[in-house]
Structures are given as C-alpha cells and as structure tokens.
Copies of this chain bind each other. A is one copy, B any other.
C-alpha cells in the first residue's frame, strides 16, 4: 500500500546519508547495511545508537538520554528489574516446551484468563502477536467454515503471510486477496463521536453484503479497538458494540487484536475491547505481554478451540515455556503493584489536555485523541479544511528527536503523531514532553 511505504519513508533514515554522521555511527550503519540489506529501515533522519535503557529513558553511546514516548513493548518500563530478575531466575532453572507439566505456566494462564470475560477461558501461547493473529485466523476459519475477513483500511495485524493479507497498511498486503474486505476506520475527527458507532456498523454491514454478493463466506472481523495504524481512533466507550453484533448476526466471529491496546495501556480497562462492553470470541496478545520477552497468545472460547483442535494440530515450541510464564507473571505483578493502568488513565488524560492547550492557539493541530497512554495528534494544513499534513508530521517527529524525545507516526495519510510511551510515564515526563512539543511546533511550522 503506497500510503504506508511513504509513512515509513518519511520517518526513516536515508541510508545514503550515512557518511554525514559521526564515524562511529557511520560504521554501524555500514555493518547494518552489509548484514541486514539496504531495505532495512532505521528511525529518524539521524538514527539513534543506543547502549542502555531504564524506565522511560533510552541512552545513546554519547551519553545523551532520550525520553521514550514511542515504545509500547517495554510497557512496564525499559529493563524493569522485577521482570529481568524473574526471567533470569527462570532461565537458570528450567526452560522447556509445554509437552511436560510445569506449575508456573498454569498459574500464569489462570492469572491472565482471570482478566478476560468469562466465556473466553482457554489460552494458546505463542511467541509473537503475528503468530497469535495467524492462529486466530486459522481457528476462525475452522469453526465458521468461512474464509472472509473484514478489517479497516489501514489496519496492521502482523507479518506472517496470512496476517499480512489482512494488513492493508503493509506494503506486501498488495494485491489484496478476494476474501479480504475493508471498511473505513472510525474517524471521529471527521465524522464526529456520536455518529461513528452507527456509521461504523453500517460500513461493516455493507462489507458483509459485499462479501455475500461475491460468494465468499464470512469468517470474522478483526480489529484493535483503538485502530492504531489507521491513525489512533479509540472513540467513545461502547461505539464498537453495534458493529460486533452485525458480524455475529452474519455468522462471523469477532477477534480483538489487543497487541496495541491491551495490558492496561488504554487506561480505563485492562483490555481495549472491555471499553466497549463487548465479549470477543478470541483475544490476540503480543508486544507488551512479556515487556520485551518474545511471547504472545490467543485467548479463546473453549468450544472454538476444541472444534479447531479436534481436526488440527497446533504446537508452538517456545510458546508458553516456563521463562515466558515467569516474564508474563512479573509483568502482571508490576502492572498491579505500580498501578500502571491507573497511571495510564491519569497521565494520558493530562497529556492530551496539555497537548490540546499547546495546539489550541495555532491552526495546525486538528485533533488530539486517545485513551490512556495511546495518543494520536492529527496535524492538518488548517483546521477549517482538516487536510492532512504529512510533511509537518515528519518535521515534528525529527524535531522532537533533536530535542531528545521519541515519537512515531500513524495513519493512512502519515499525519498523525503516535504518542505511546511506557506506562510508567508520569506527569513529570509529560511536562518535559509538552515543553519539547511546544518548542518543536514553534520552530517547524
């Protein structure tokens, strides 16, 4: 999809500019190009050469520290000592696959499933969000007999062949298979918060009708409930319910992709779908689950897993090993004990409020939206036209990086700042962020 390629490009380092960097950095870029190939992308016009991290801070080789307002994988904070200690201890004790019994993996499964709505009471562990999404599609197709999936126009659900097909934001999702139908993201900025629930449901019903007309049977609808790669649209709690009902009425399943909103990030609830009062058929988990330890999972209704398992084998070598369980348990402990979901709620609200104030006087910050510590800030040519301004977003991302603050970009038009820090991001950090944002905005407009 041409749109995303440009988004990646505008945020990316130009490999041909390597010689303009300090010699030590140039050398790393050359070694990277030699081993990873020339199409491997680095962030920012001036890439970062990192050496260590803790909490919300990343440190480069020159001793500069960067405020991390981008990375959602180290969700409870970079190198959290509690998580590091739990993983290290387990690594030295036992690390095997799940064909043997091991107590702590069931303890973790029970703790995790206790956060899910009651009918979602089985779990399959994997290593990544991509593997989880891929498995969820297989289960959905096996239990419904359908092949068709509905996703939003700029969705991203991972990097395997199967989930790339349902990831229109990925360049390699083209050409799109005939069984993938797209609906516009719930753009509350341009359509308003009140209208978006019925509109989104209507778009889903149209896609279902289109699929039926094409002779394709619906398998399901998959979305992350804040529509992150579409441009961050959390919408009002509950707006998703009507669309989910429409999918169920047509015989499809609803898969909640919680790789982005899950594990407390959206502040109001542990899970993004829970904001909407809907019960998914499957919940896809990844990124923040182990705070950087590679792990993922699919929580699923037992009757679906049994129907799938009765005709299909699935085994994941590393998935659910005792080390992943130790990492996952430590993440749940830290989330609870440090009140990180509550912090996401409070700090997120404060940060959005301050960003609205910072953008209020000018004509370029069209919208500030989000839930908890997942925030989208939409840059426009002017508020009246609401025309996306991709070039401005690029200047701000790189301008912030020069002020040692890290953010990214989202959305089909590449004009939405993606602000998504570790959940231990406090008001103090938000104030540093706002200062940097104000001065960047003043300089780059």
Contact = CB atoms under 8 A, between A and B. Distances in A.
Interface of A: 4-5, 8, 25, 28-29, 31-32, 34-43, 47-53, 58, 71, 73-74, 78-79, 81, 83-84, 87-88, 91-103, 106, 109-110, 113, 121-124, 127-131, 134-135, 137-138, 142, 159-162, 164, 170-172, 286-287, 292-295, 302, 305-306, 309-318, 321, 323-324
A182 to B, nearest CB: 18
A142 B161 CA distance: 12
Contacts of A127: 127-128, 131, 294, 318
Nearest to A316: B159
A122 B315 contact: no
29 contacts: A5-B313, A34-B121, A36-B123, A37-B302, A37-B306, A37-B309, A39-B310, A48-B100, A50-B94, A51-B94, A51-B102, A53-B95, A58-B94, A58-B100, A73-B317, A79-B91, A79-B95, A84-B92, A87-B91, A91-B292, A128-B128, A128-B316, A128-B317, A131-B160, A134-B161, A138-B164, A160-B162, A294-B294, A294-B295
A5 B309 CA distance: 11
A330 B34 CA distance: 22
Contact of A172 (B71, B306, B314): B314
A95 B292 contact: yes
Nearest to A322: B50
B306 A38 contact: yes
B94 A305 contact: no
Given A88-B87, A92-B84, A311-B171, A29 B101 contact: yes
A34 B94 CA distance: 23
- Most-contacted residue by chain B among A159, A170, A312 (CB, 10 A): A159
A241 to B, nearest CB: 28
Contacts of A286: 317
Contact of A122 (B28, B37, B71): B37
* This chain: copies in complex: 2
Given A94-B50, A94-B78, A123-B36, A311 B172 contact: yes
- Most-contacted residue by chain B among A8, A28, A171, A317 (CB, 10 A): A317
Given A130-B316, A171-B313, 10 more contacts: A35-B110, A37-B302, A47-B101, A50-B100, A71-B96, A128-B128, A128-B316, A128-B318, A130-B131, A171-B312
Nearest to A295: B294
- Most-contacted residue by chain B among A4, A32, A110, A128 (CB, 10 A): A128
Contacts of A87: 87-88, 91
Contacts of A34: 110, 121
A286 B127 CA distance: 12
A333 to B, nearest CB: 16
Contacts of A138: 161, 164, 172
Contacts of A323: 292-293
Nearest to A28: B101
B292 A99 contact: no
A161 B162 contact: yes
Contacts of A74: 95-96
Contacts of A93: 51-53, 79
- Most-contacted residue by chain B among A35, A39, A79, A317 (CB, 10 A): A35
Given A79-B94, A99-B41, A295-B294, A313 B110 contact: no
Contacts of A293: 294, 323
A41 B309 CA distance: 10
Contacts of A164: 138
Contacts of A29: 101
A159 B137 CA distance: 13
Contacts of A162: 160-162
Contacts of A81: 92
